[in-house]
Amino acid sequence: VDVDGFYALNLSTVLDYVAYYPKVCAPIGGKASKEDWVSKEVGDGNINFVYIIMNKKTNAAIVLKQGLPYVRCVGESWPLTQERVRYEAEALIAAHGFCPEHVPEVYLYDSKMSTIAMRYIEPPNKIARVGLCEGKTYVRMAEHVGKYLAETLFKSSSVCLGAKKFRENRIAFGGNEAMCALTEQVIFTEPYGVFENNKWTHELNDIVREIQSDGELKVAITELKAKFINECEALLHGDLHTGSIMCGERSTYVIDHEFAFYGPMAFDIGAFIANLYLAYYASDGLGHSENHKKYLQCMIKDVLIRFVSDFSRLWRTNGRQKDFGGLSHPSVFSAHLNRPSQSFNSPDEKHFQQSQLEFISRVIYDAHRFAGAKIIRRIIGIAHVADMEGIQNLELKAKCERAALEMGMRLLKGKYSCKTSVRLSMNWEYGR
Ligand code: ADP
Ligand code: SR1
Ligand code: MG
Ligand code: MG
Ligand code: MG
C-alpha cells in the first residue's frame, strides 16, 4: 500500500488497502483472514466506484467507496473535485448521528485516497429503485424516509440548534461548491435551454420545445434555483433519489451523501417524491398492476404525512421556541406535551401551532415544486432513470415520459395548495 499518495484502486489493490486498516477490516475477520477475502466492484451510480470486500467463509462484508477526480458516467472529460468525498463522509457521519437506524456507519474516511469505508448493507436489502422497477412494495419505506427527512432536517436546522451553532455548521458544509454547481447546471439550467448534455426520446420533441419556451416555467425554475442557492436551512442529503436508498422488506437505509450542503429542506423532500412520481408514471410501461400504482401514490402521501408529523413533534419537544416571534414561555409547550387540547386556548400555543403551520406548509409547497424540476431533469437532462429507461417498447416509453413531464410542469408551476393537508398531518400527530 502506498500510504503517501492517491491511486485508483482495483479489485486486487483494494484488498491490500483494506488490510492496512485494522478498524476497517475488523468486520471481515481482520488482516489474518485476508486469504478468505474476495472483492467486487458494484458501483452502479453515475459518479464513483464502490467495492464490496467479503470474507467468503463468514459472508461478513464491508463497503469501500472511492471517488476519482472525474464523473464516472462521463469519463475524464468531466473533472470533479475529490473534496466531495470529504463532504460525503462528514454528512454520512452527521446523518448517522441524527438517525442511526437509517444510515450506515462510517469506519474510515481517507482524504489522500478519497475513500470511505462503511457498513455493508446486506441482501435482501437492495437499491429501492431496482426493487420498485421489479414491482416490489416496501411497506415501511414511506414511514422510514419520512422519519429520516424529519430527523436530519430538523436536527441540523436553526430551529433545533439555535442561531450560533447553526451558523457554525452551515459554514462547515458551505464549501461543497463543485457538487452544488453540478446540481445547478444539470437540474436548474440545462433542461431549459439548448445544451449538449440534454437528451430525450425523439417522440417528445414537441413537449420539450414547449418546456424550453414556456415563460411561466422559466420564471418558476429561476425562482427555485435562487432558493437552492440562497436558502440555507438544513444539512441536506442533496441527491435523495430512489437510487440513494436501500430497502429490505422492513428496513431502509440512506446512502450516497456526496452532494450534502446547507440548503432548502424542500429540496431533499422534493427529490424523493419526484422519484416516486417517476416510478408511478413508468409503471404502465413496466407492466405493473394498478395496485402497484396505488401503492406508489399512497407512498407520496404517506412520506409527507410522516415528515410533517415527526418534524412538528421534534420542533415541539426539542425546538427553541423562545427564539421565535416572542413565544417566550417554552415551559408552556413542554408542560402540555401530552395534553395539547388543554393548552390550545393559550395564545402561545395557538401562535406556536400557527408558526409551525406557516413554516412547514411553505416547505411542503416548495418540495412539490422541486419535485417538478427533478422529474423534468430526469427525462430531458443528462441523467435519466432506470424506471423509464427500462421500458422496452419505445412508443410506450414516450407515453409514460410525456405523462411524467406534464406532471412535472404542473408541479414546478406550483398549481395547488397544501396547507389543509399539512394542518391535518400536524393535528394527526397531536391527536385532535
Ligand atoms: P454513486 O455516488 O456513484 O452514485 P453510490 O454511493 O450510490 O455511488 O453507490 C453505488 C452502488 O453501490 C449503490 O447503488 C449500491 O448498489 C452500492 N452500495 C453503496 N453503498 C453501499 C453499502 N453501504 N452497502 C451495500 N451496497 C452499497
Ligand atoms: C452528471 S449528472 C449526475 C447525476 O447523478 C447524481 O446521482 C446526481 O443526481 C447528478 O445530478
Ligand atoms: Mg448513487
Ligand atoms: Mg453519488
Ligand atoms: Mg434528481
Give the nearest ligand 2 atom to 46 CA.
Answer: 5
48 lines ligand 1 (CB under 6 A): yes
Give the nearest ligand 1 atom to 246 CA.
Answer: 15
Taking the C-alpha atoms of residue 94 and residue 86, their distance in angstroms, rounded to an integer, is 12
CA of 46 to the centre of ligand 3 (A): 7
Does one domain contain both 130 and 113?
Answer: no
Beta bridge partners of 79: 70
Does one domain contain both 247 and 338?
Answer: yes
55, part of any domain = yes
Q: Read off the C-alpha cell for 345.
A: 386556548
Angle between helices 347-380 and 394-413 (to 10 degrees): 150
Does one domain contain both 74 and 137?
Answer: no
Domain that holds residue 210: 126-430
**Last residue of a domain, which of 84, 119, 154?**
119
CATH of the domain at 47: 3.30.200.20
- Note whether 176 and 84 are within 8 A (CB): yes
What would you measure as the largest C-alpha separation in the chain, in angstroms? 70
**Last residue of a domain, which of 119, 152, 177?**
119
Q: Say how many CA atoms lie within 13 Å of 169 toward its Cβ.
A: 24
43 lines ligand 1 (CB under 6 A): yes
pLDDT score for 327:
54
76: helix, strand or coil: strand
CATH of the domain at 401: 3.90.1200.10
Does one domain contain both 281 and 186?
Answer: yes
202, part of any domain = yes
Does one domain contain both 108 and 130?
Answer: no
Does one domain contain both 338 and 378?
Answer: yes
Give the nearest ligand 1 atom to 50 CA.
Answer: 12
pLDDT score for 361:
94
Taking the C-alpha atoms of residue 150 and residue 304, their distance in angstroms, rounded to an integer, is 10
pLDDT (tens digit per residue) in 275-316: 999 999 999 999 999 999 999 999 999 999 999 999 999 998
5: helix, strand or coil: coil
Taking the C-alpha atoms of residue 357 and residue 349, their distance in angstroms, rounded to an integer, is 12
pLDDT score for 330:
46
Tell me how many domains the chain contains.
2
Does one domain contain both 37 and 158?
Answer: no
Does one domain contain both 250 and 228?
Answer: yes
363, part of any domain = yes
Does one domain contain both 100 and 80?
Answer: yes
148, part of any domain = yes
**Last residue of a domain, which of 95, 119, 143?**
119
Compute CA distances 141 → 67, 95, 163, 371, whole Å.
28, 17, 33, 18
193, part of any domain = yes
Does one domain contain both 283 and 341?
Answer: yes
Peptide bond into 104 cis (omega under 30): no
203, part of any domain = yes
Does one domain contain both 39 and 173?
Answer: no
426, part of any domain = yes
Ligand 2 mutation target, pool 50, 187, 239, most atoms within 8 A of CB: 239
Q: Which residues contact 97 (CB under 8 A, 6 or more apart)?
A: none
Does one domain contain both 35 and 106?
Answer: yes
3, part of any domain = no
- Note whether 375 and 405 are within 8 A (CB): yes
pLDDT < 50 stretches in the chain = 329-342, 428-432
